[in-house]
Amino acid sequence: MSEHQESARATHPVTQPNQVSEPDRREPQSRMGPRGAQVSEAQAREIAEQARETEWALPSFGRQLFLGDFQLSLIHPHPRQEDEAARRGEEFCARLRDFCEASVNSALIEREARIPDEVVTGLADVGAFGMKISTAYGGLGLSNLYYNRALIIAGSASPALAALLSAHQSIGVPQPLALFGTDQQKQHYLPRCARGEISAFLLTEPDVGSDPARLSTTATPSADGSEYVLNGVKLWTTNGVVADLLVVMARVPKGEGGREGEGGREGKSHRGGITAFVVEGSAEGITVEHRNAFMGLRGLENGATRFHEVRVPAASRIGEEGQGLKIALTTLNTGRLSLPASCASAGKLALKIAREWSGERVQWGRPIAEHQAVAKKIAFIAATGYALEAVVELSSQLADDKRRDIRIEAALAKLYCSEMGCAIADELVQIRGGRGYETAASLAARGERGVPAEQLLRDLRINRIFEGSSEIMRLLIAREAVDAHLTAAGEMIKPGLPAAQRARAAAKAGGFYARWLPTLVTGEGQRPQAFSEFGPLAPHLRYAERASRKLARATFYGMARWQGGLERRQGFLGRLVDIGAELFAMSAVCVRAQMDAEDGAAGGRAETGFELAGAFCAQARVRCDELFGQLWKNTDSADTGLARRVMSGRYKWLEYGIIDPSIPGPWVAETVAGPSKHENVHRHIG
C-alpha cells in the first residue's frame, strides 16, 4: 500500500452509512417505476416544434443578426416612451419606491423566509399587482418599460418581491389572459388580479422540467363538454402557497369526451393535447402539500400542489385544447423580460456596494480598488451592469413599440442577463472578501454594515434555471438562428430521403445559399466611416457588423459540416448563441448611450454613458473573440466521450474516500394518483 493510500485510509477510517468507499455500499436506489408520459427524444422535439411560433410578421433585429444582416436601424434610434406612458410610469415608480423604503424590511424577509402579509397587501394597495393589467380591468396599464423599472425597484428592496410580482403578472393569470383570454374571462379574472388576488403558473411536475412533452397532469373533459376534471401533481409553483388563481397546464386526452360511466362514448370529440386553464386556488381537490425551501429567494411562497378530481368549468380554458404550450411560450415572449429586470437590479446594487466598499477597504497600503485584480472586477461590474440595464430597457421598449418581433431579443435578454448577473454577484462576493461570504445579519450583529452580498449570489442563481434554463434558452435561440437554413436546406438533411427528392432539395438550398453567401463577404463594418454618428462607439458597431457576418458564416459552416447532426452539437450552437447575445448587448449599449446623449439624460448619463458603453463593448469583444476561437478549437467531442465513460462508471474510483451527506431517497419522487395524504399548507393573504 502506498503512503498516499495509507494516509487516505487514516483520514476516513470508519465506514459510515453514507460513506462512499470501495466497494460502494450506497449505490443509489434511484429510479422508481415509470413516471410521467414516456416520451422519445423525437417526440419531445416534435412537441417543442409544434409550440414554436413559426411566423415572423414583424422585423426582428435578433433574427437578422444571426443571418449576418446587422440592421441597426431596427433598434436605432432607440425607441422612446410616449409622454403619457412615461408620466404614469414615473408616478407609479415613485409611489412604489416610497412604499418599499417605508415598509419593506429585506433582512426580516430573509430571516423569517416569508414576505409579511402586510407587505403583500400594501403592494396590492399601491397597485403593484395590476401593473401589467389594462386600466379597462382595473389595472395600471403600465408599459413594459415601467413594469420592468418597477421590478428593478421592488427587486432591490427584496428580490423575493420581484419574484412574487413577476410570477403573478409575467407568467401568472394576467399575461396569458391578456393575450389569449375571452372578453368574459378578462372581465371575470383581471380585476381580481389587479386588486391583489395572487396568481401562479403551474407547468412543472416532478417528471417535467425542461421537457413538457412528459406532462402527465390530466384534464379529462366531461361528456357534455361543460367541464374538465384535473388530476396530477405540480412542482415548484412560485406563489402557489398563497395563490388565489392558478394557470394550470394539463393534458386533455384525445378522442371522445367523458369518463367511463358518464356516457363518454357519445360525448363531444376532443382534439386533446396540453391545454391551459385558469383554476381557483381554493377549488375542492387542490392541496398544497409542501412549501419548498431554496438556496435563495427565501421569501418565495413556492409549493408542490396536488390536483385530485378538481372540477374546472370549460369556460375557464384559455384558448383551444392543445394550445397550452404555445400560450406558455408566447406569454414568455415578453414575460421573459422580468427576470432580466431582476438581474439589472442586482447589477446596480452590486455596483454601489463594490464602489463604496472598495474605496473604504485598505489592504497592502492602498484602497483595494487600486489593486488591479480588484479594479478589473469593478470595471466588469460597472460595464456589465450598464449593459444589463440597456438590454432590459431596449427589449422592453421594443415590446412597447410593437413594431418589432422581440422573441429573440427577449430570449437573449433572459439568457445573457441571468448569466452575467450571476457573474457580477460572484465578483462582488470576491471583492468583499470574507465579508462577502458572511450573511448580512451576522455582519450587522457584530456591528458592521449588513451587506447582503452572499444573498445576492444565492438569490440570483435561480435565474439561470427557471423560465427556461440557460441550456434550453441556447437551444431555443439556436433553433431560431438556424431557421433560415432549415427552411432552405432542411429537406436535404433529412435521413432516408429518395434521390430525386434530395436533388430537388439540394437545388432549392443551392439557390438560397447562392443569394445569401455573397452578402456575408463585405458590409458596413469594413467601411472606416460607418456608424460615425456614434463617435467613439463607432468602431465597436463596425466590429459588431463584421462579427454578425462572421457568425452567420460560422453557422453555415456548421450546417455544411454536420448537417442534421448540428442539432446535437450543443457546444457549437451554444457558442453561436453566446456570441449573438454579446453582439446584441453591444448594440443595446451603443444605441442607449447615443439616445441618452441626444436627450441630455439627467444625472450624468448623457455625459458618461458613452464611457461605460465603450468599456462594455471592449470587454464583450474579448469574450466574442474567445468564443469565435472556441467554435473550432474546443474539447466538445472529447468531453462528450469522457462524459459517456464517466456515466459508464469507469472512473468511479475517483468518488471513493468521501461521505455523501445526501438524505437517501429516489432522485425523482414517484407521483401516486389519488387524494392527498398531506395537510394543505395553502393560505390566503388579505
Minimum distance from residue 418 beta carbon to ligand FAD (Å): 12
| Positions in 270-329 near ligand FAD (CB under 6 A) | 294, 300, 302
Q: Which is nearer to ligand FAD, 238 or 316 (CB)?
A: 238
Residue from 60, 170, 185, 204 binding ligand FAD (CB under 6 A): 204
Q: What DSSP element (H or E) covers 626?
A: helix 605-632
The reply on whether position 668 binds ligand FAD by CB under 6 A is no
Minimum distance from residue 45 beta carbon to ligand FAD (Å): 9
The reply on whether position 199 binds ligand FAD by CB under 6 A is no
Cα separations in angstroms, 5 against 8, 25, 174: 5, 20, 62
Residue 319 φ then ψ, to 5°:
65, -160
Q: What DSSP element (H or E) covers 337?
A: none
The reply on whether position 162 binds ligand FAD by CB under 6 A is no
Question: β-pairing, 199-202 with 245-252?
Answer: parallel
| Positions in 141-160 near ligand FAD (CB under 6 A) | none
Kindly indicate which of the ranges 115-123, 218-226, 466-474, 517-525 contains the residues binding ligand FAD, using the contact rule CB under 6 A: 466-474
The reply on whether position 123 binds ligand FAD by CB under 6 A is no
Q: Which is nearer to ligand FAD, 107 or 472 (CB)?
A: 472
Q: Are the CB atoms for 295 and 458 separated by under 8 Å?
A: yes
The reply on whether position 203 binds ligand FAD by CB under 6 A is yes
| Positions in 541-570 near ligand FAD (CB under 6 A) | 570
Minimum distance from residue 493 beta carbon to ligand FAD (Å): 20
Minimum distance from residue 203 beta carbon to ligand FAD (Å): 3
Residue from 144, 166, 220, 238 binding ligand FAD (CB under 6 A): 238
What one-character-per-residue DSSP string does 8-58 give? HHHHS-S--TTEE-SS-TT------S--S----HHHHHHHHHHHS-----S
41 assigned to active site: no
Residue number with the smallest Cβ distance to ligand FAD: 209
Q: Are the CB atoms for 271 and 199 separated by under 8 Å?
A: no
Q: Which residue has the cell 450573511?
A: 439
| Positions in 207-226 near ligand FAD (CB under 6 A) | 209-210
Q: Is 97 left (phi over 0), alpha (psi -120 to 50) or beta?
A: alpha
Nearest CA among 116, 151, 114 for reference residue 132: 151
Tell me how far apart the alpha carbons of residues 227 and 440 are, in angstroms, rounded to a whole number. 51
Minimum distance from residue 22 beta carbon to ligand FAD (Å): 29
Q: Which is nearer to ligand FAD, 506 or 646 (CB)?
A: 646
Q: Are the CB atoms for 550 and 543 separated by under 8 Å?
A: no
Q: Which is nearer to ligand FAD, 141 or 212 (CB)?
A: 212
Q: Which is nearer to ligand FAD, 226 or 634 (CB)?
A: 634
Residue from 32, 178, 379, 465 binding ligand FAD (CB under 6 A): 465
- Cell digits of residue 411: 430570449
Residue from 32, 178, 472, 669 binding ligand FAD (CB under 6 A): 472
Q: Which is nearer to ligand FAD, 267 or 340 (CB)?
A: 340
Tell me how far apart the alpha carbons of residues 577 and 572 are, in angstroms, rounded to a whole number. 9
- Cell digits of residue 102: 417605508
Q: Which residue has the cell 452590486?
A: 350
DSSP 562: H
Helix, strand, coil percent content, the chain, rounded in steps of 5: 60, 10, 30
Residue from 43, 469, 608, 676 binding ligand FAD (CB under 6 A): 469
Helix axes 636-648, 570-599, angle to 10 degrees: 130
Minimum distance from residue 656 beta carbon to ligand FAD (Å): 26
Minimum distance from residue 303 beta carbon to ligand FAD (Å): 9
The reply on whether position 237 binds ligand FAD by CB under 6 A is yes
Cα separations in angstroms, 481 against 474, 486, 629: 10, 10, 19
Q: Are the CB atoms for 174 and 136 separated by under 8 Å?
A: no
Residue from 167, 246, 327, 417 binding ligand FAD (CB under 6 A): 167
Continuous H helices in 263-406 = 324-335, 338-360, 372-401
Q: Which is nearer to ligand FAD, 140 or 200 (CB)?
A: 200
Count of residues interacting with ligand FAD (CB under 6 A):
22
| SS3 per-residue string spanning 441-485 | HHHHHCCCCCCCHHHHHHHHHHHHCCCCCHHHHHHHHHHHHCHHH
Cα dihedral sign for 528, 529, 530, 532?
positive
Q: Which residue has the cell 474605496?
A: 359
The reply on whether position 201 binds ligand FAD by CB under 6 A is yes
The reply on whether position 573 binds ligand FAD by CB under 6 A is no
Kindly indicate which of the ranges 143-151, 196-204, 393-401, 636-644 contains the residues binding ligand FAD, using the contact rule CB under 6 A: 196-204
The reply on whether position 608 binds ligand FAD by CB under 6 A is no
From the candidates 301, 467, 480, 582, give the one annotated as an active-site residue.
467
Kindly indicate which of the ranges 18-26, 179-187, 200-208, 595-603 contains the residues binding ligand FAD, using the contact rule CB under 6 A: 200-208
Beta bridge partners of 270: 255
Minimum distance from residue 295 beta carbon to ligand FAD (Å): 9
Catalytic residues: 467
Residues that bind ligand FAD (CB under 6 A): 167, 200-204, 209-210, 236-238, 294, 300, 302, 462, 465-466, 469, 471-472, 475, 570
